[in-house]
Amino acid sequence: MVDLKNPPRLSPQLPRRLLVAFSGGLDSTVLLRWLQLWRQGADAVSSWSDLEIQAVHLHHGLQPAADLFEDHCRRICEAWQIPLVVRHARPSDEACQELGVEAAARNIRWGLLMELARAQGAALVLAHHLDDQVETALLQWMRGAGLEGLSAMPVLHSVGHDADQAEAVWVWRPLLDVSKEALRDWAVSVGLRWVEDPTNLSDRHDRNRLRRDVIPILKEMRGGALASMARSIGHIQHAQHRLAEQSEADLNAVRGKGSVLNLEALQALSSLRRMAVLRAWMRGEGLRMPPARRLEEFDRQLEQAGPDSRATLEVHESEFAAGVSFRVCLRAHALHIERPRKE
């Protein structure tokens, strides 16, 4: 359990440069100040001594207070002597109409943060906390997610190795087992100032309704409910890790030359293991997962396929969504991935 009175544990996998996503709100303000205070007080032999901390603020221009948020972040970083990068990135009207404003902004935000972290050779540090973790798992459960979705957010993981073989970026969430209440108490105790995002009060977003109406009831029903639920999420994460390890081993066993998969070797696996292999294969190629029902139908075709069988799994993505359109094709007793040609 993270204690804000103590420094976070620095994993040896983390780069020596941290890029902290800084909105100016309570969560990211606590994160930035907490890290900066421990870096500031580090002695010459500390693992913090050569650590570089930089903040990044993304201005989407989607609400009247956006300029005020940017000004606030600039003042804070100047007072704390923390370098700040500001990027203006408003999602297009088409993307907002296609995906919704929140999702369109999230896609742009994630892409820019990854791009900046990769360019600087930095770890991306995010201020997600215990309440966020439970809300994420509940939202995924409501959507009928599998193990991966119910695993919610890991404390530390790498993102990358996409179709263009870009360098992986480490993503770190050191506050993931700290409650929102504890963050607020610490912020008040050290005299922090932050801004409140008015969209957090909107009833249009499911997460806000969970935060306002559901989470308080769970806390009232049982003391320590969120921490207990987080432990369950941890158990799901461990199960997901074990499944991922098995899937990677199976993938290596059925892989042919390049990224081709051997049909006969796939057919020797159970249906569940075969679909897990297909997911691991597509994920490793930087592709987004197809809908579960479509993957199940494709797996049924693979199970019954003969030497001359042909089958195709097509996944079409909106031009504004993460991922690309692609096909998984069964040809000549092997599976291939076909991507659209770049113009």
Look at residues 179, 197, 232 and tell me which one is the last residue of a structural domain: 232
Position 331 scores a pLDDT of 81
- 227 shares its domain with 272: no
In angstroms, the Cα distances linking 263 to 39, 95, 220, 268, 286 are 53, 39, 53, 9, 21
Residue 206 lies in a domain: yes
Residue 332 lies in a domain: yes
Number of independent structural domains in the chain: 2
Residue 329 lies in a domain: yes
CB 162 within 8 A of CB 114: no
Residue 6 lies in a domain: no
Position 48 scores a pLDDT of 81
DSSP for 7-65, please give it: PPP--TTS-SEEEEE--SSHHHHHHHHHHHHHHHT--TTSTTTT-EEEEEEEE---STT
Residue 243 lies in a domain: no
Q: Dig out the tokens for 173 from the structure.
A: 């969430």
Helix pair 271-284, 292-304: axis angle to 10 deg: 120
Look at residues 198, 232, 266 and tell me which one is the last residue of a structural domain: 232
- 215 shares its domain with 294: no
Range of the domain at 226: 17-232
Q: Walk along the chain (343 residues) and give the pLDDT tens digit of each residue.
A: 677 888 888 888 899 999 999 999 999 999 999 999 988 887 766 778 789 999 999 988 777 888 999 999 999 999 999 999 999 888 777 777 776 777 777 888 888 999 999 999 999 999 999 999 999 999 999 988 888 889 999 999 988 754 444 578 999 999 999 999 999 999 999 999 999 877 776 667 788 899 989 999 999 999 899 999 999 999 999 999 999 999 999 999 999 877 789 989 999 999 999 999 999 988 888 777 888 888 999 999 999 888 778 888 887 765 444 455 778 888 878 888 887 665 4
Residue 130 lies in a domain: yes
Helices (H), 100-224: 101-120, 130-142, 147-150, 180-189, 206-209, 215-221
- 212 shares its domain with 266: no
Position 340 scores a pLDDT of 67
